[in-house]
Amino acid sequence: MTTDYKSLAVEGVQGLRPYQPGKPIDELARELGLNEKDIVKLASNENPVGPSPKALAAIQGELEELTRYPDGAGFELKKVLCEKLNIQPEQITLGNGSSDILDFITRVFVNDGDNVVVSQHAFAIYGLVAKMVGAETVAAPAKNFAHDLDAMLAAINDKTRIVFVTNPNNPTGTWIKKDELITFLDKVPERVLVLLDEAYFEYVDENDYPNGLALLNQYPNLVVTRTFSKAYGLASMRVGYGVSSPEIADLLNRVRPPFNVNSFALAAAKAAMLDEEYVAKSIAVNNSGMAYLENEFNRLGLDFIPSVGNFISVKMPAGINAMAVNSGLLQEGVIVRPVANYEMPEYLRVSIGIEKENQAFIAALEKVLAQLGESGD
């Protein structure tokens, strides 16, 4: 081969590193010769409850239409979203996961040479989508692992097109209060879009946590994204949505690929959203698991970042390398998420599992920490 195809690629793409998801269960089973059923995966903030029975029934009902294209407009899902969220169909953009919406908004509004503003320790995808279009990512320093909205405001300049705000934030689990968000939105220039990522909002039980959708009429530059991958248990279906002004939604839908959300995802998302009992159970399991892990971390003398999501980041003891702990946990058949690439090298992020999964993680963690403590690693 004589042609250097990398040199032919768009400049922004040449410098990209693919997003690294949590290690799959089957991959670890192959690597270590483990039984998949014995592996505990707490790496990807998935819903440990399993799918809603109503979602499974909806998927089954779509099988006979396998040869048909999905409804490109997503009429039925949009209808339920409108009824549940008090929004209008023309405000909605459906995505193959909410990450689709991040891609759409960047491609629509950001040019080569522009920039986007994010917080330190923010979701890596924001920087990836910006780099694809040749834009710079400006990371404002965090404050106690949380968004420093004043620092983010200060980072906005003439080249800024989008500010990405995550509430609650992944991987830290920190969150922004309503009055803080409103003060911030009041100060952001209207020409700069604010993408408010609410992927984990269902898990938050705080009186002063803001509902981004309730702010849309007041702030025309606001776009809110949500997903069915977490509380609704449909991560493998890849379905999410954005809500914005009709004008912005129209532009986003112009770059949305036809049939980007498949029939099974559309049907499952509609059914899961109507299954309030399932969502309540998912939240209850998460609350119980979070309390257990916090208590165990305290017992083990481990610092952690208080979280309102379905995950928690825990700091390894001084002198013990977090990557070494991660490797030890993998040997025990437990998968968690190192977050050194989020400038948190001393931490591991742990998704909340069901009771036996949380217990297996703590038992493995205690064992690995003891082994590394003895070896001085």
Q: Supply the CATH number for residue 283's domain.
A: 3.90.1150.10
Same domain, 312 and 237: no
CB 210 within 8 A of CB 181: yes
**368: three-class secondary structure by DSSP:** helix
Q: What are the CA-CA distances from residue 299 to residues 294, 295, 302 (Å)?
A: 9, 6, 8
- Rounded to the nearest 5°, which phi and psi values hold at 335? -105, 120
Same domain, 72 and 111: yes
**Is residue 159 a part of any domain in this protein?**
yes
Which one has a higher pLDDT value, 3 or 329?
A: 329
CB 265 within 8 A of CB 234: yes
Same domain, 147 and 168: yes
Q: What digits encode the pLDDT tens for the residues 178-195?
A: 999 999 999 999 999 999
User: Which DSSP category does 231 fall into?
Assistant: T
Secondary structure of 151-213 as H, E, C letters: HHHHHCCCCEEEEEEECCCCCCCCCCCHHHHHHHHHHCCCCCEEEEECCCHHHCCCCCCCCHH
Among residues 274, 291, 320, the one where a domain terminates is: 274
Give the confidence band of 46 by pLDDT, cuts at 50, 70, 90. very high
Q: Supply the CATH number for residue 120's domain.
A: 3.40.640.10
Q: What digits encode the pLDDT tens for the residues 341-366?
A: 999 999 999 999 999 999 999 999 99
pLDDT reported for residue 279: 97
pLDDT reported for residue 29: 73
- Strand 311-315 to strand 304-305: parallel, antiparallel, or no bridges (unpaired)? antiparallel
Give the confidence band of 37 by pLDDT, cuts at 50, 70, 90. confident
Among residues 225, 244, 274, the one where a domain terminates is: 274
CA 109 from chain center: how many Å?
22
Mean pLDDT of the chain: 93
pLDDT reported for residue 10: 64
- Rounded to the nearest 5°, which phi and psi values hold at 134? 85, 20
Q: What digits encode the pLDDT tens for the residues 251-262?
A: 999 999 999 999
Q: What DSSP string describes 78-147?
A: HHHHHHHHT--GGGEEEESSHHHHHHHHHHHH--TT-EEEEETT--THHHHHHHHTT-EEEEEPPBTTB-
pLDDT reported for residue 218: 97
**Is residue 4 a part of any domain in this protein?**
no
**Is residue 1 a part of any domain in this protein?**
no
CB 19 within 8 A of CB 318: no
Specify the number of domains making up the chain.
2
pLDDT reported for residue 3: 72
> In terms of residue numbers, what domain contains 31?
20-50+277-375
Say whether pLDDT at 5 is over 70. Answer: no
Within 13 Å, how many C-alpha atoms sit on residue 9's CB side?
Answer: 13
**Is residue 2 a part of any domain in this protein?**
no
- CA dist 240 and 59 (Å) reads 17
pLDDT reported for residue 17: 66
Among residues 274, 295, 316, the one where a domain terminates is: 274
Same domain, 79 and 101: yes
**Is residue 366 a part of any domain in this protein?**
yes
Same domain, 148 and 166: yes
Same domain, 186 and 114: yes
Q: Which of 43, 60, 62 is nearest to 51 (CA)?
A: 60
Mean pLDDT of 131-147: 95
CB 229 within 8 A of CB 235: yes
Same domain, 288 and 325: yes
Which one has a higher pLDDT value, 203 or 18?
A: 203
Say whether pLDDT at 19 is over 70. Answer: no
**Is residue 174 a part of any domain in this protein?**
yes
Which one has a higher pLDDT value, 366 or 377?
A: 366
- Give me the amino acid identity at 281: K
Cite the DSSP H helix spans in 228-321. 246-255, 263-274, 276-300
Which one has a higher pLDDT value, 14 or 95?
A: 95
**Is residue 121 a part of any domain in this protein?**
yes
Same domain, 321 and 358: yes
Same domain, 260 and 221: yes
**73: three-class secondary structure by DSSP:** coil
Same domain, 57 and 176: yes
Same domain, 110 and 193: yes
- CA dist 79 and 73 (Å) reads 11
Give the confidence band of 20 by pLDDT, cuts at 50, 70, 90. low
**Which residues, in sequence order, are CB contacts of 375 under 8 Å at separation 6+?**
none
Say whether pLDDT at 371 is over 60. Answer: yes
**Is residue 129 a part of any domain in this protein?**
yes
Same domain, 36 and 142: no
- Strand 337-338 to strand 347-351: parallel, antiparallel, or no bridges (unpaired)? antiparallel
Mean pLDDT of 213-224: 98
User: Which DSSP category does 105 fall into?
Assistant: H
Least confident of 17-31, 52-66, 112-126: 17-31
Q: Of all helices (H) and strands (E), which one includes residue 329?
A: helix 322-331
**64: three-class secondary structure by DSSP:** helix
pLDDT reported for residue 373: 79
